[in-house]
Amino acid sequence: MNPFEVLARTHDSLRTVVAAVPADAWDAPTPCSQWTVAQVVRHAVIDQLGFAVSLGRAEAPAEDAFAPSTDRPADPNAYVGDALDIAAAAWTSVDPADEAVPTPVPPHSLPAGQAALAAALDAGVHAWDIAVATGQPSPLTDDVATALQGLAVHLVDPLRPWGAYADAITGDDAGDPVAILLRYLGRDPKWPVT
């Protein structure tokens, strides 16, 4: 898949799952064990804006992505939609042939396709976090998961010591690209485990 198409699809997934969060679910637990639904939404938004900041197309958000507020955004759809519009506009400035696109994640510069997949990985996995925490179907598809896995194996391990990703979880998921990706990112595809 084209990396920029993957990014657009994960942005769409994030918009869709946030729009469907029930009013009473904003304080619900998520696969990000320390965070509520509201915090994962805020973190995901701040991360996407972080890519736009790295691309020189946005102001840095005031809120810390790793200490997001527990408050539900006043208008969640606008909160997410406005940020993703900014991020999408920033990505239109990227030449797909550029071999050194600035990113907010180490190594802080990636070829354009990998940079877009790095942003997509973040948006896609957090869309999944929000979806499963609120009883929605998984927004990850096999083709998107396969595209993200290719980037994840190069990007995630160096970020684990910083707490950006939990340790990988073992499991017998042969033939299930979504489960393979989630386990690699430290998430149980059957969350919540009872």
Give Cβ neighbours of residue 90 (< 8 Å, ≥ 6 apart). 51, 52, 55, 56, 57, 58
DSSP 101: E
In a domain, 25, yes or no: yes
Place of tokens 């890519």: 51
CA nearest to 118, candidates 189, 62, 48: 48
Q: Which amino acid is at 66?
A: F
In a domain, 182, yes or no: no
In a domain, 45, yes or no: yes
Predicted confidence at residue 165, as pLDDT, reads 84
pTM over 0.85: yes
Predicted confidence at residue 99, as pLDDT, reads 98
In a domain, 38, yes or no: yes
In a domain, 190, yes or no: no
Which H or E run contains 41?
helix 37-54
**Domain interval for residue 53:** 3-138
In a domain, 13, yes or no: yes
In a domain, 88, yes or no: yes
Predicted confidence at residue 194, as pLDDT, reads 62
Decide: helix, strand or coil at residue 93.
coil
How many whole angstroms from its chain centre is CA 169? 19
Q: What is the CATH number of the domain that holds 126?
A: 1.20.120.450
Predicted confidence at residue 25, as pLDDT, reads 98
Angstrom distances, CA of residue 24 to CA of 33, 36, 121, 134, 194: 19, 12, 27, 9, 21
Tokens for 100, please give them.
């050194």
- Tell me the CB-side half-sphere exposure of residue 93, using CA atoms within 13 A: 14
Report residues of the chain scoring pLDDT below 50. Answer: none
**Alpha carbons 167 and 187: distance in angstroms, whole number:** 9
